[in-house]
Chain A
């Protein structure tokens, strides 16, 4: 007697899902942070990193190593996604997960290790320099991919859907030198950044269309134009061979590489402040205008073509005594083959802009508004915020900020800075609930640091 075995593993497109899991796993560690609150803390030198035209009230400032970290997602929170079943187990209901998704869902994380920052100048000018190691990661998952994998393709009968995820994981070393010059009410700033790319793992073209025929027997038509790139310390294996597991490995980093990187890049920051009146100041900046050219260990993997899967040939089934429908999965996996090519490529930084207005209500109270934008891989991510700050004497400043962002949603942040003689201590978060209850919020952000500041600059 022949034995027929049914194997539902055919329902998972293994290459894509494996890749996706790798990407999501990478986000357990730390796009560029917004630093909304920081941008309003005009008494901190770190504000200069967001607008090179910003001059603080001290002529000489040295910043000790500090860290900024943020992680966010499009409304996705752990507690929204999980629930407890009758057995007391924590589970994810795939349908609830899909229902909570937007058409495009970005999960991002940023970490910036600011090794040092130094600025000095006179009343009219300022020179600043510094070094930081930055890690910016983001992955954008189309809702259609989650729908396809977790809910199946029956809902897409007769439709063509793109299931290609987009992602970018970049780490690089940044040396910067900038200047700010004051012309009365107007201050202009410019900063140049020498970038050393450490690692990159990113998508280029991102088309993976799948069409399910609703007129016949649900034949699948697949059209792919998908590019994956890796360079520097990251290497991916298994993409071009369907028999291999996909693995992401990282090489070891030495001090020189950590400081300068092996993949060169260049970027600019531009900024300006304008004191409209004694009480009203407006600022604007565009930062991270630049790119990194990846040449070290740079590989491009491309899957391009149109494929139609109509089903198995009945003769093949008759010839095989044991019929196993997982052959369908094998066939579908074969379709997403990648070709490897060693070639240099470039990736742009996430370009950010900050546009602020601050009004000093009294000696102690200041209020302001902010528009912040991020541009990357064709996405536009704006955030609007209002803030208030209170000077609790010369040594302590306390602030709060309320924001509504496309990718971060509604957020409430706080920030504070203490000045203890020449020592400045500060802490800022753009979403305090995200730090206190990270499982209930899809966005968490924090920055902490310490500066040494000398020599009061005259107003």
Chain B
């Protein structure tokens, strides 16, 4: 009995102790938050990129040439220009009637305006004939065109006029196919002979009337003396997107080129001329091409008489020496508008030439803009920002290390703009140099990479201001070496090293 009492007395305080213990443990689950004050040092960006790699991400329409003659990077814009075909310049051959007044006659052939025909090679066509016989019997007739030949054989047409019982017999022959025949003319004339023989008596006779008509002639080849003839080609436009980045400022390209390439299969002397060429920028400002090349024109290379079917390529190159091309590109154009004209036989010389049915002039335009020159350009661009957890970041310090092999430097400023479009703070006190242009030698090529370290400190009092921003306004200034005063050359191998690290202080 005493033992039980002792037991109870012992158990009571033990139970009391553990009740308190259990009560305490109940609150373990009610931790509401963890306060963190942390500072993290992180590498954000680390890359070494060639200018070629950077440009490939810019989605330009230009073809990036990795090398020009001296290795300078170049942007090339290519487009096909207008085309002129023989059919555009010369009309179809009309049907032409002719009379053969005597057994041997000469017929004038003037069927190709602007061309004093020497040779006409027919692609296709027919001839019709009409004859009248006064003889009271059948008459055999053979008409021979000695200058209209095929495989060195003249065209011969044989027919019989069958007497019809009257005093005069009319006879027609239609659709004589002359496909593939060549007509060789002397002084635009051809000789024709017909031989009429009576069938019964066998006497050679002269008919009362013989004539004919060439129908539906199309040519394969025309040779002769071409008259002087000026024609215009359609106006065309080449778009340039190189200057679409919205930069303002001055640009001076040292050695741009604009090539107009003509592919000519006309066998005649043709002089091409730039009737009009202007470059227009985003603001609508334009500059018109001028210079000796514009006034003088340019004689296209043509295939010789024994080169029918071939094409000859000629290039009209505009450069800083023969035109004001540098001035045109200085306005940072977005498009080139141009129209060409040409003159056949510009000197009106009496000289044989040729065309074929497939003769044409194709034009291509190539704008070659080497990255050689000087510039100082600036832009301002807006970017929306969302800092995600603005209350967590209390301070930040960035360490930007650039190693620049390019002869282009940059200064940068970020302005932070609130919802009322009011600038509430800026990243730097002034436009900050973040990329120093590499120095260049006399030839314009950089001599050594230039390192630069920039510290960007954003203390806690400014973080709150930045967190209120809804937009960032980036002000970027780019300039070649010596603040845009020295012409430089950029190659695709020049590299830009960018390292960015951050120390971020977080409280949450």
A interface vs B, CB < 8 Å?
A: 1-8, 10-11, 78, 82, 85, 89-95, 150-155, 157, 212, 216-220, 309-315, 317-319, 325, 328, 395-396, 416, 418, 420, 427, 435-439
Contact = CB atoms under 8 A, between A and B. Distances in A.
A5 B386 contact: yes
Interface stretch (B39-47, B246-254, B283-291): B39-47
A85 B387 CA distance: 27
B388 A92 contact: no
Contacts of B382: 1
A91 B34 contact: yes
Contacts of B3: 395, 418, 420
Interface of B: 3, 6-7, 10, 14, 17-18, 20-21, 24-25, 27-28, 30-47, 49, 53-54, 57, 382-389, 392-393, 399, 401, 498-504, 506
14 contacts: A3-B384, A5-B388, A6-B393, A8-B392, A82-B31, A92-B31, A94-B35, A150-B36, A150-B38, A155-B39, A218-B502, A219-B46, A220-B43, A436-B18
A217 B35 contact: no
B18 to A, nearest CB: 7
B388 A8 contact: yes
A11 B25 CA distance: 32
Contacts of A151: 36-39
B36 A154 contact: no
Contacts of B500: 217, 311
Nearest to B20: A436
B180 to A, nearest CB: 62
A150 B37 CA distance: 7
Contacts of B27: 90, 439
Given A416-B10, A418-B7, A328 B31 contact: no
Choose among A7, A153, A314, A437 the residue with the greatest number of B CB atoms under 10 Å from its CB: A314
Contacts of B10: 416, 418
Of residues A2, A154, A395, A427, which shows the largest number of chain B Cβ atoms within 10 Å of its Cβ?
A154
A218 B43 contact: yes
Contacts of B31: 82, 90-92
Contacts of B387: 5-6
Nearest to A448: B14
A6 B388 CA distance: 6
Contact of B14 (A94, A95, A427): A427
Max chain B Cβ within 10 angstroms of own Cβ: one of A2, A8, A317: A8
Given A11-B506, A94-B34, A315-B57, A219 B43 contact: yes
Nearest to A392: B6
A218 B54 CA distance: 25
B457 to A, nearest CB: 14
A157 B41 contact: yes
Contact of B32 (A4, A89, A153, A154): A89
A94 B31 CA distance: 13
A310 B500 CA distance: 10
Contact of B383 (A2, A7, A212, A325): A2
B44 A312 contact: yes
Q: Which of B34, B53, B54, B383 has the most CB of A within 10 A?
A: B34
Contacts of B498: 314
Of the listed residues B7, B24, B53, B382, the one surrounded by the most CB atoms of chain A closer than 10 A to its CB is B24
Given A3-B384, A8-B504, A311-B45, 5 more contacts: A11-B506, A150-B38, A313-B49, A314-B45, A435-B18
Nearest to A154: B39
Q: Which 4 A-B pairs have the closest CB atoms?
A: A217-B501, A311-B46, A311-B43, A89-B32
Nearest to A317: B45
A439 B42 CA distance: 37
Contacts of A150: 36, 38
A152 B506 contact: yes
A220 B501 CA distance: 11
Contacts of B57: 315, 318-319
Nearest to B386: A5
B401 A311 contact: no
A379 to B, nearest CB: 27
Contacts of A328: 42, 44
Contacts of B502: 218
Contact of B33 (A89, A95, A154, A309): A89
Nearest to B390: A6
Contact of A4 (B6, B17, B49, B386): B386
Contact of A435 (B21, B32, B44, B53): B21
Nearest to A437: B24
B504 A90 contact: no
A109 B110 CA distance: 118
B30 A216 contact: no
Contacts of A153: 40-41
A11 B38 contact: yes
Nearest to A10: B42
Given A94-B37, A319-B57, A216 B499 contact: yes
A430 to B, nearest CB: 15
A325 B49 CA distance: 20
A23 B157 CA distance: 112
A8 B399 CA distance: 18
A3 B385 CA distance: 6
Nearest to A155: B39
A161 B92 CA distance: 92
A249 B43 CA distance: 37
Contact of A218 (B35, B53, B503): B503
Contacts of B43: 217-220, 309-311
A438 B21 contact: yes
A85 B295 CA distance: 88
Contacts of B21: 435-438
A92 B386 CA distance: 29
A92 B399 CA distance: 33
